[in-house]
Structure 1
Amino acid sequence: MRWTLKPKPDTDKVQHLTEALNVDATIATLLVQRGIETFEEAKTFFRPSLNDLHDPYLMRDMDKAVQRIETAVANNENILVFGDYDVDGTTAVSLVLSYLKSYYPNVDTYIPDRYKEGYGVSFQGIDYADDNGCTLIIALDCGIKAIDKVAYAKTRDIDFIICDHHRPADTLPDAVAVLDPKRNDCNYPYKELCGCGVGFKLIQALGNKRGQTINHLVPYLDLVATAIAADIVPITGENRVLAKFGLEVINTNPRPGIKALIQNIKKPTLTISDVVFVVAPRINAAGRVKHGKYAVQLLSEFNLEQAEEFASEIETLNADRKDLDKQITEEALQQIEYNNEQNKFTTVVYSKEWHKGVIGIVASRLIETYYRPTLVFTKSGTMLAASARSVSGFDVYNALEACAEHIEQFGGHKYAAGLTLHEEQYEAFKNKFEAVVANTITPNMRVPEIQVDMPLDFNEITPKFNRILQQFEPFGPGNMTPLFISHNIKDSGFGKPIGANQTHLRLFVKQEDSEGFAAIGFGLAKKMDVACSGTAFDAVYSVDENTWNGQTSLQLRLRDIKCEK
């Protein structure tokens, strides 16, 4: 691991914030590193308010979208809410469905089959709308590049409203409204909404027309927070407000579908991290293993008993997903070794037998072993389909763009993308992708990085300090959990590996004459010879809490340790 200490911020700015907020310089430094430099900015950061949300009508085409929906309601038209099969898509569909259904009955949903239709708006979905007399499709978390699909829908007298957050191409679909803050001609102040977030802005605009305030829409924020967490969008600005209040709904009064998913979690308060690692994979499992419509069914169910039945079925699907994920990862690692490709700049693997629903997870797993841009291919109808994942700092979307001559279709983000190509193009694509990455990736990008906020002495770690750190939550991209580095640390002599497979490390550490702390390092048992040799070492960690037998104490969550140089 490469430890990178963030640049020290401007001393005057830190001093100003220290005095304005009456906090110590460490807290002020962390704030300035996050772009918070004034009392007012700090107030907004520490006390997010629903009043901080932007006017939805600042988004290009919002007025057109609302007008078309109002016309559909007035004319008793059938509306189809269409969304992608992942967490962002299914939560967005559940959000818009449950809102529209609160005052209008003629609303249906459609989630494409991952295997038969693939990602995004599909001809089959449009045919379904046509067969069921739907004259308006609201597409969520997809559609920004569906030019041919929207044109096809027009021949069936079906209008489209697109709510997306992916990067558009030069030409937009000919829809009634295209809501996407990443449009070049959209002046919406916040560009990083997820698909469900764009869906929320739509219902916020509809609510404004109906005389509703933002407080009427708070019950929908559990879905928005779940999507923000799962889609790994920045938790800054508007997303931070939506995530904070959405987490409050999850922890106090979640919809039955989410309540059924979390009721076995033995924690008093769930964090964004819990949503990422517990809630999101279960919602995703439906679309990965069976069909995304089951996730919508769960999230839109308002009878708790029925929701618990749906959640139980999804729990089974998630267990199946874990088995597939493990099996395919092992096969992919064997393929890399068999082909002697351990020292390449990229990982590109393929088997027609692999389950399409888990290849994205497998790509992420492979990066844990071979830290480099990764694509996992499988057979999908007459084509090959792949999920791409990248490493910190490297834009895999741009790399795929450079290989476009071999690709049939692709889309996504800097760190995650999907593509399809003809099987006869596979080897040429694989060679071109390797060449593109080899020519553009830097040496630093090839080594996993830990970004450290600042050095910290143990005597600065107090309950008050931790209480202020907790107010930095919710954490996520753009506002990551603060990481500190401390030097000259020693274990008390009781360090040991723990866990079912003895892969974690438990220590009690001290720094010179300071108070000692319990420390836990998940997956760090391999560093036991460094930590427990009796000599001093350096550590990167976050400040955490541990509750045991009703007693809560501070502990350090170790991210990495190294011998002192």
Structure 2
Amino acid sequence: MSMSTRWVFKPEPGREAASRLAGELGIDPLLAGLLVQRGIRDFESARRFFRPELSHLHDPMQMQDMEQAVDRLEVALTRGERILVYGDYDVDGTTSVALMAAYLREYSDAVATYIPDRYREGYGLSRQGIEFADDNGMGLIVALDCGVKAIEQARYARSKGIDLIICDHHRPGETLPEAVAVLDPKRDDCPYPYKELCGCGVGFKLIQALHERRGLDPAELLPYLDLVATAIGADIVPITGENRVMVHYGLQVINGGARPGIRALLRGLDRKNYQVSDLVFRVAPRINAAGRMQHGEDAVRLLTETDPARAGALADEIESLNSQRRETEQAITDEALEMVRSEGGEARMSTVVFKEDWHKGVIGIVASRLIETYYRPTLVFTRSGDKLAASARSVRGFDLYEALEACSDCIEQFGGHTYAAGLTLEASRFQDFKDRFEKVVSERITEDSLTPEIQIDLKIHLSQIHPKLVRILSQFGPFGPGNPAPVFVAGPLVDTGYARTVGEGGAHLKLAVTQDGSGPIGGIGFGLGDRLDLIQGGREFYAVFSIEENHWQGRTSTQLKIRDIRDAAPD
């Protein structure tokens, strides 16, 4: 059964502002209203929105410690020092390592990469990684997408005579690690104007600074933005400001001829132009599968491979790992759902489940799957050595990181963001933590946060949907957090008699709708197969949807991507 949702209308754009902008740009007032809702009120801001340029990227030297980082890298490259590029095992980390290693290897043959083993070393900068650098005579580690909380590890590196440059985007603790440079726009003392970079984005700013220090053309860095765009999409950071510029150019790189590794992962997709969604749902899960099921170094090898044939073979191996990941994830999800039901967990404000032998590599995905059924903050635990490890996911409007801080006396270590986190604790503290977390959530969560919502931009009539509108709407992209695809509501609608369920178990809804004689327009509602009875037999209904181009067998048509359906008019 698909979950019920609240329909929430965004504030109406001011008519005067929308009318004025429509006149300036020569566009439909409906489109102008959407722009005003996004804070775009004049020609210049619209130009920057629709025509991102590399010149819109900020000066990387504005980032705290950037000068020290560039100075130290210059010394290492000039002296031919051995450099270790270290990163986390997820998409953001592996793309960061691929980007930094590929760039530095343009100037040095003494660059190695290191991804920690998810199971033996865990998240972040590890002692084993530092010992690997020491054993191999490396005097500098560049740590990406991790390290901002690695106080003890940084001290250990220093004791070994190894310098450390940290490129991170997670929230720092009260104390920063002892490093040559800590690049993190979320530092309280960092004046960098854009705070929402992912780890790969921070790494890109470092190579941008190094490139510009050498007097080279920033446009030469364009080929690296396919990696940055993939990381931005996978890490669910806002696609606004500087991120939007980098995704815009990253997609141009991918559509114009991506690096062999990414091209191999996109094989088989019937697309004229790849979008962020293809990176999120096609490329990212496969890169993640390497670190989840085997080792993140496999992903780095794929992303740095320059030979298409070898990249294809590596992609085939990762595809096999991804298939294993899907099977494992489904089995654990089924077990976890049954555990919640059997333990009476449906009545709780949080979901916290644990089983000794669950695969650590997929528990984050399982947490997301549980939220699809029980919409509330969720943690999935498994055993990791002599500790318990968990992946946590949250719901709209609830700060998971702050909730974990309130439980910190039960936790050995944790880190993450508002909506996703990871933690470890002693097995003996599991029940204490579970009770404490439930108490914190119960005290802090609001009723609105317990029900998923769909934010609606504007009402629309089907007669307003025409090819030019669809074409301009597509230029609102790249879409993602902070810049979602515009969402409309229309009704009453009537199906043409075409409605049917499709997909495994009839999970999805396929239909074609008309409104007051306008249309018909085809639509697809993923996960809405159980709404078929609401629209059959000529019944009128209301639908929330985004509008997209559907490409099928060389033909292009307008399609409604249905988000929700009701039989009554929206409030």
Match in the other structure for 2:361: 357
Q: Secondary structure at the match of 1:430?
A: helix
In structure 2, C-alpha distance between the alignment counterparts of 1:88 and 1:557, rounded to whole Å: 29
In structure 1, C-alpha distance between the alignment counterparts of 2:112 and 2:150, rounded to whole Å: 20
Match in the other structure for 2:186: 182
How many residue pairs get aligned? The number is 565
Match in the other structure for 1:60: 64
In structure 1, C-alpha distance between the alignment counterparts of 2:380 and 2:122, rounded to whole Å: 16
1:4 is aligned to 2:28: no
Q: Secondary structure at the match of 1:518?
A: strand
> What is the percentage of aligned positions where both structures have the same residue?
57
In structure 1, C-alpha distance between the alignment counterparts of 2:483 and 2:360, rounded to whole Å: 32
In structure 1, C-alpha distance between the alignment counterparts of 2:424 and 2:555, rounded to whole Å: 53
User: How far did 1:477 drift?
Assistant: 0.4
What is the RMSD computed on CA atoms of the aligned residues?
1.0
1:457 is aligned to 2:447: no
Match in the other structure for 1:513: 517
Match in the other structure for 2:342: 338
Does the aligned pair in 1 maintain the 2:401–2:415 contact within 8 Å? yes
Find 1:209's aligned residue among 209, 213, 233.
Answer: 213
Find 1:502's aligned residue among 502, 506, 529.
Answer: 506
TM-score, reference length from structure 2: 0.98
Does the aligned pair in 1 maintain the 2:64–2:183 contact within 8 Å? yes
Gapped regions of structure 2 (runs ≥ 5): none
Match in the other structure for 1:366: 370
Query: What do residues 150-192 of structure 1 show as CA deviations (whole Å, max 9, x unaligned)?
Result: 0111110001000000111121111000101111111111110
In structure 1, C-alpha distance between the alignment counterparts of 2:437 and 2:128, rounded to whole Å: 32
Match in the other structure for 2:496: 492
Query: What do residues 190-223 of structure 1 show as CA deviations (whole Å, max 9, x unaligned)?
Result: 1101000000001011111222212110111110
Match in the other structure for 1:119: 123
In structure 2, C-alpha distance between the alignment counterparts of 1:66 and 1:155, rounded to whole Å: 23
Query: What do residues 493-548 of structure 1 show as CA deviations (whole Å, max 9, x unaligned)?
Result: 22111224322111111111222211111111100010113221110011122234
Find 2:542's aligned residue among 535, 538, 541.
Answer: 538
1:274 is aligned to 2:278: yes
Q: Secondary structure at the match of 2:510?
A: strand
User: How far did 1:264 drift?
Assistant: 2.1
User: How far did 1:380 drift?
Assistant: 0.6
Q: Secondary structure at the match of 1:532?
A: helix
1:418 is aligned to 2:422: yes
User: How far did 1:557 drift?
Assistant: 1.1
Residues 544-553 or 511-520, more deviating: 544-553
Match in the other structure for 2:230: 226
In structure 2, give the amino acid aligned to 1:90: T
Gapped regions of structure 1 (runs ≥ 5): none
1:110 is aligned to 2:114: yes
Query: What do residues 453-494 of structure 1 show as CA deviations (whole Å, max 9, x unaligned)?
Result: 111111110101001101001000010011100121111122
Match in the other structure for 1:73: 77
In structure 2, C-alpha distance between the alignment counterparts of 1:120 and 1:354, rounded to whole Å: 21
Does the aligned pair in 1 maintain the 2:270–2:551 contact within 8 Å? no
1:172 is aligned to 2:176: yes
In structure 2, give the amino acid aligned to 1:282: R
Residues 302-311 or 542-551, more deviating: 542-551
Find 1:294's aligned residue among 285, 291, 298.
Answer: 298
Residues 359-368 or 486-495, more deviating: 486-495
Does the aligned pair in 2 maintain the 1:34–1:478 contact within 8 Å? no
**TM alignment of 1:189-200, pairs within 5 A:** 189-200=193-204
Match in the other structure for 1:151: 155
Match in the other structure for 1:448: 452
In structure 2, C-alpha distance between the alignment counterparts of 1:300 and 1:25, rounded to whole Å: 46
Find 2:97's aligned residue among 93, 99, 103.
Answer: 93
Does the aligned pair in 1 maintain the 2:474–2:548 contact within 8 Å? no
Query: What do residues 280-329 of structure 1 show as CA deviations (whole Å, max 9, x unaligned)?
Result: 00000000011111101111111111111111110110001001100100
Find 2:324's aligned residue among 320, 323, 341.
Answer: 320
Find 1:43's aligned residue among 43, 47, 65.
Answer: 47
Does the aligned pair in 2 maintain the 1:487–1:564 contact within 8 Å? no
User: How far did 1:25 drift?
Assistant: 1.8
1:308 is aligned to 2:316: no
User: How far did 1:13 drift?
Assistant: 2.1
Match in the other structure for 2:402: 398
Q: Secondary structure at the match of 1:385?
A: strand
User: How far did 1:51 drift?
Assistant: 1.1
In structure 2, C-alpha distance between the alignment counterparts of 1:80 and 1:548, rounded to whole Å: 46
Does the aligned pair in 1 maintain the 2:142–2:165 contact within 8 Å? yes
In structure 2, give the amino acid aligned to 1:36: I
TM-score, reference length from structure 1: 0.99
1:523 is aligned to 2:527: yes
Q: Secondary structure at the match of 2:279?
A: helix
In structure 2, C-alpha distance between the alignment counterparts of 1:79 and 1:548, rounded to whole Å: 48
Q: Secondary structure at the match of 2:305?
A: coil
In structure 2, C-alpha distance between the alignment counterparts of 1:24 and 1:123, rounded to whole Å: 59
In structure 1, C-alpha distance between the alignment counterparts of 2:112 and 2:552, rounded to whole Å: 48
Q: Secondary structure at the match of 1:362?
A: helix
- Give the direction of change, closer, same or farther, for the CA distance of 1:341–1:77 in structure 2 (3 Å limit): same
Find 2:287's aligned residue among 280, 283, 288.
Answer: 283
Residues 21-30 or 240-249, more deviating: 21-30
Does the aligned pair in 1 maintain the 2:271–2:551 contact within 8 Å? no
Find 2:145's aligned residue among 129, 141, 148.
Answer: 141
In structure 1, C-alpha distance between the alignment counterparts of 2:248 and 2:552, rounded to whole Å: 27
Does the aligned pair in 1 maintain the 2:77–2:107 contact within 8 Å? no
- Give the direction of change, closer, same or farther, for the CA distance of 1:174–1:39 in structure 2 (3 Å limit): same
In structure 2, C-alpha distance between the alignment counterparts of 1:157 and 1:180, rounded to whole Å: 23
